[in-house]
Amino acid sequence: MIGYFTIAALVFSFVCYLFIQDQDARKDNLGAWLTITFVTLCWPLTLPNMARKVVTRWLNSCRSQEKQSVPEASSAEARCHTNMVPPTNLISKILGR
């Protein structure tokens, strides 16, 4: 049970971080906070989907950088890893580690 609430707290902090970063979201909207609470309580279902979206977005940005890159420069993968924050580093940054 402690593990469930520990992961739920991490999911809540991640979702709140994304919510606060969203410029268009109304922070005083009760419906938005209820949705965040629901997503947090259902983390076994929502966490894998959120992780998939973060990784997919990161990979897509790497691929788009690769298409725009200059061929004589270093490999696209190396540029991608230096210019983009990998999902694991993003989560560490959010958690403050």
pTM of the model: 0.50
- Residue pLDDT, tens place only, 69-81: 655 545 555 545 5
State pLDDT tens for residues 33-44: 998 888 888 888
Percent of the chain surpassing pLDDT 90: 2
Q: Are 55 and 73 in contact (CB under 8 A)?
A: no
Q: Using an 8 Å Cβ cutoff, are 72 and 37 in contact? A: no
Whole-number average pLDDT of the chain: 75
Residue 34, domain extent:
2-95
Structure tokens that stand for 87 in this block: 């999902």
Q: What is the dihedral of CA 70, 75, 79, 84, to 10 degrees?
A: 120
Tell me if 40 sits within 8 A of 12, measured CB to CB.
yes
Task: Supply the pLDDT for residue 62.
Answer: 82
Q: How many domains does the chain have?
A: 1
Report the pLDDT value the prediction gives residue 34, as an integer from 0 to 100: 92
